Structure 1
Amino acid sequence: MTGPTAPRGLKVFNGQTAPDVKPVDWLVEKFLARGAGTLLFGQPGVSKTVHAAHLVACLVTGQPFAHLKTVRRGLRVLYLDFDGSWEWNHELFTAAFRGLGVEGLPESFVYYSPNTEECTVQGQEVGLQTLESLGPDLEATVKALRVDVVMCDSLGQMMVGDTNSGQDVALALRLGLNPARKAGAAVLVIDHATKSAAGGFGVPTPMGSQQKRAWARVSVALEREEGEEGHVTRWSVDKSNTAPFEAFLTRTTFTNDGEALHTVELEFIGEAGPRTSFKDRPDRGTETQQSILDALQDGPLQRGKLGRGGTFDRALLTLEQAGQVVRLGRGLYGLPDAETIPPPHQPLGNGGVVEVVTRSVNGEELGAW
């Protein structure tokens, strides 16, 4: 059902001959779609591969991912591990499946790594194969194994070109990964974020050329945040060609069996709310001063228990000069009204021992405490 074709021209259609629009086939709603590219990026230490392993387990077992709607039937997932090898990561994937109640690795999870000997072909060094040349083999694998999702971890390890060059990145994505999209698979690229937004100071962006964002239909940022009960992970849409999901928080729990990783579980906590911008945050000195005052609410503490570093030194000096903190002697600090100091040689709340010290105010000694 097409319109007229000019000699040697483009095959076009108009309003009368246009085909019916096919709905987007979401494998994970507003995040991962069949035939489309998704970019998942984050800072070092945010555990991108751990979160990807949990996502793999959800897709293969047909279980929900966080609170987003996920197809209930199990999918076939191909994991392209360009960063690691099976020796390093098999324990992680096993733990992710165990976290969803599945013992062992299902057959519908398939794995490839140029760094794993079993993935070589007749002893040839497949690791020398570049992402740019991977397209035909990847397309054939997707078709032969009926792969639904291809995960690439990470992009820069297999590129022969420069990751900062828009032309090189666009070429690698088109030649290396687009054939899998054309074959009907959703393609998820795991990548690194720039360090400029580390610690919550700004909005993270993918490292290198922004052609990666241009290629992806959906781009999602992972950020580590401090929650009420420890570290949590913020998931937020960086870019989307459709209605994006609202930013949300998850918590990852690891369970060990001796020295071996046994179980990985991911818990959806709730919506993340607006990100605190750099201008909204108090300066580090003010934050450090407040943390010192909070720590001393329960009684005097040794300097080493309060903190260290240049910012801490300046914050403590500022509090001393303002009279908000007093030095009780030999590195022991407390609040001005700290009259609850234990008698000599009695244990503090932190297990320390108080020695006899001399307290003074405005240079006048008040005697031993």
Structure 2
Amino acid sequence: MTAPREPRALRVFNGQTAPPVKAVEWLVERFLARGAGTLLFGQPGVSKSAHTAHLVACLVAGQPFAHLKTSRRGLRVLYLDFDGSWEWNHELFEAAFRGVGIEGIPEAFVYYSPNTEECNAPEEGEGLKALEAMGPDIAQTVKDLNIDLVICDSLGQMMIGDTNNGQEVALALRLGLNPARKAGAAVLVIDHATKSAAGGVGIPTPMGSQQKRAWARVSVALEGEELDGKTVTRWSVDKSNTAPFEPFHTRLNFTNTGERLEVLDLDFLGEAGPRIVHRERDERAQEAQREILDALQDGPLVRAKLGGKGGTFDRALKTLETAGQVVKLERGLYGLPEHAPDVSPPHQPLGSGVVKRSESSPATFSPPHQTPTSGVVVKEDVMILVELAEPVAIEEEVLTW
């Protein structure tokens, strides 16, 4: 048993002995600072890794990121990839560097993944290390390679503890990543957002313990939004210990050759303004539904002719289709229920095998899940009323099965 050490006074200073204050060195203004931690989080599908790959390329190339100023000299970046491997992600990084005018992977980009064989040391026999045990190794790498920025992608995959347990999250961050901060690097942690804020229901927050926000000097949220009918990404400061940047919009551009991603770059689209709240989104959805119904009054139309663009319009169309107010016809046409052809599906028992089409009255439709009555058959989730005729001799327009 270790004997308790003697208490000793803390090393303190006062106004007479205080050291000179060092200016904050921003790698990206108001976003990434040397010696500080930053949290970047967002919902699945918001392309956090692609945005981060573009950010890395900008920093290595010494170029601005979006409209934010970066260090004029090229930086050295250590990317800790616990979500994927080089086999899966090399194409993304190559495309991002190509987007800033760099062909191939530059020497200033340093990559590590426990899922990549070349990053493992078989002689050590230690297996996969958790973040909590990697702090000294990460710090030594920062010192040996003069690393400016360490990226942790993602926290949930790196730490062995419970991401909902505040004490375990705090220990993982302090033991695993604070040594890199002390060694002089900025640290960026990629994380997931809670699902409760999806679709504009509320302001997003990081998933799990809020100790992540407490650890970070700056916390930034990525959200998918619509701008001029196109999907864009909102960047907004969730928390900051300094003057935050104003929310702004960006759009990723992917250039492919066949199935291969060739170039990844990003457009800055300007300031984003206030966040659209859920009530306003509902109003936009209802307006889109009215536009669809009005457009179909004169007859069926293909999707491109309905007039609206973007996810809100597509969701409104799907809602109307599910409710039976709009039906999907052949060849990609959409129409109102009365536009649907009055036909019966193959193999429907029809007695004599003859169907007489009723021209005097439009087809009527039963709502979804209604129990079919006599003469009602089902085709593509739409119930159609047909009139069964007595066997008669018809010389033309005879349909048989």
Whole-Å Cα distance in 1 between the matches of residues 119 and 11 of structure 2?
41
**2:250–2:269 Cα contact (<8 Å) kept:** yes
Q: Give the Å deviation of 1:199.
A: 1.4
Query: Match for residue 163 of structure 2?
Result: 163
Whole-Å Cα distance in 2 between the matches of residues 126 and 97 of structure 1?
34
Of residues 305, 308, 330, the one that matches 2:340 is 330
User: Normalization by structure 2: what TM-score?
Assistant: 0.75
Q: Relative to structure 2, which stretch is displaced further, 253-262 or 139-148?
A: 253-262
Whole-Å Cα distance in 1 between the matches of residues 209 and 33 of structure 2?
23
Alpha carbons of 1:116 and 1:71: their partners in 2 closer, same or farther (altered >3 Å)? same
**2:300–2:339 Cα contact (<8 Å) kept:** no
**1:77–1:110 Cα contact (<8 Å) kept:** yes
Question: 5 Å matches for 1:216-227?
Answer: 216-227=216-227
Name the SS for the 1:128 alignment partner.
Answer: coil
Q: Give the Å deviation of 1:313.
A: 4.4
Query: Match for residue 82 of structure 1?
Result: 82
Query: Match for residue 300 of structure 2?
Result: 301
1:248 aligns to 2:248 (yes or no)? yes
Q: 1:226-279, CA deviations, whole angstroms, 9 ceiling, x for partnerless residues? A: 121511000000000000000000010101122211000100010000001123
Name the SS for the 1:170 alignment partner.
Answer: helix
Name the SS for the 1:180 alignment partner.
Answer: helix
Query: Match for residue 33 of structure 1?
Result: 33
Question: 5 Å matches for 1:177-192?
Answer: 177-192=177-192
**2:200–2:281 Cα contact (<8 Å) kept:** no
Query: Match for residue 150 of structure 1?
Result: 150
Whole-Å Cα distance in 2 between the matches of residues 89 and 172 of structure 1?
25
AA aligned to 2:19 is P
Q: Give the Å deviation of 1:359.
A: 7.3
Q: 1:161-195, CA deviations, whole angstroms, 9 ceiling, x for partnerless residues? A: 10000000000000000000000000000001111
AA aligned to 1:217 is R
Alpha carbons of 1:308 and 1:18: their partners in 2 closer, same or farther (altered >3 Å)? same
RMSD between superposed Cα atoms in Å: 2.8
Alpha carbons of 1:290 and 1:124: their partners in 2 closer, same or farther (altered >3 Å)? farther
Whole-Å Cα distance in 2 between the matches of residues 294 and 151 of structure 1?
50
Query: Match for residue 393 of structure 2?
Result: none
Q: Percent identity?
A: 68
Alpha carbons of 1:126 and 1:97: their partners in 2 closer, same or farther (altered >3 Å)? farther
Query: Match for residue 316 of structure 1?
Result: 325
Where structure 2 has 5 or more consecutive residues not aligned to the other structure, the ranges are 1-6, 307-313, 327-334, 343-357, 363-401
Name the SS for the 2:325 alignment partner.
Answer: helix
Query: Match for residue 345 of structure 2?
Result: none
Query: Match for residue 57 of structure 2?
Result: 57
Alpha carbons of 1:30 and 1:331: their partners in 2 closer, same or farther (altered >3 Å)? farther
Query: Match for residue 107 of structure 2?
Result: 107
Whole-Å Cα distance in 1 between the matches of residues 168 and 124 of structure 2?
26
Query: Match for residue 369 of structure 2?
Result: none
Q: 1:8-48, CA deviations, whole angstroms, 9 ceiling, x for partnerless residues? A: 11111222222221111000000000000000000000000
Q: Relative to structure 2, which stretch is displaced further, 265-274 or 283-292?
A: 283-292
Name the SS for the 2:208 alignment partner.
Answer: coil
**2:324–2:337 Cα contact (<8 Å) kept:** no
**2:154–2:191 Cα contact (<8 Å) kept:** yes
Q: Give the Å deviation of 1:202.
A: 1.0
Q: Give the Å deviation of 1:84.
A: 0.2
Q: Give the Å deviation of 1:281.
A: 3.2
**1:288–1:311 Cα contact (<8 Å) kept:** no
User: Normalization by structure 1: what TM-score?
Assistant: 0.81
Q: Give the Å deviation of 1:309.
A: 5.1
Alpha carbons of 1:292 and 1:118: their partners in 2 closer, same or farther (altered >3 Å)? same
Query: Match for residue 352 of structure 1?
Result: none
1:42 aligns to 2:52 (yes or no)? no
**1:81–1:153 Cα contact (<8 Å) kept:** yes
Question: 5 Å matches for 1:267-306?
Answer: 267-282=267-282, 286-287=286-287, 289-293=289-293, 295-296=295-296, 299-301=298-300
Name the SS for the 1:243 alignment partner.
Answer: coil
Whole-Å Cα distance in 2 between the matches of residues 112 and 167 of structure 1?
27
Q: 1:51-84, CA deviations, whole angstroms, 9 ceiling, x for partnerless residues? A: 0000000010100100001111000000000000
Alpha carbons of 1:263 and 1:123: their partners in 2 closer, same or farther (altered >3 Å)? farther
AA aligned to 2:325 is L
Q: 1:259-303, CA deviations, whole angstroms, 9 ceiling, x for partnerless residues? A: 211000100010000001123333587245234236438x42269
* Count of aligned pairs between the two proteins: 325
Name the SS for the 1:156 alignment partner.
Answer: helix
AA aligned to 2:190 is I
**1:60–1:109 Cα contact (<8 Å) kept:** yes
Alpha carbons of 1:17 and 1:286: their partners in 2 closer, same or farther (altered >3 Å)? same
Alpha carbons of 1:303 and 1:50: their partners in 2 closer, same or farther (altered >3 Å)? closer
Name the SS for the 1:282 alignment partner.
Answer: helix
Whole-Å Cα distance in 2 between the matches of residues 258 and 51 of structure 1?
22
Larger radius of gyration: 2
**1:155–1:190 Cα contact (<8 Å) kept:** yes
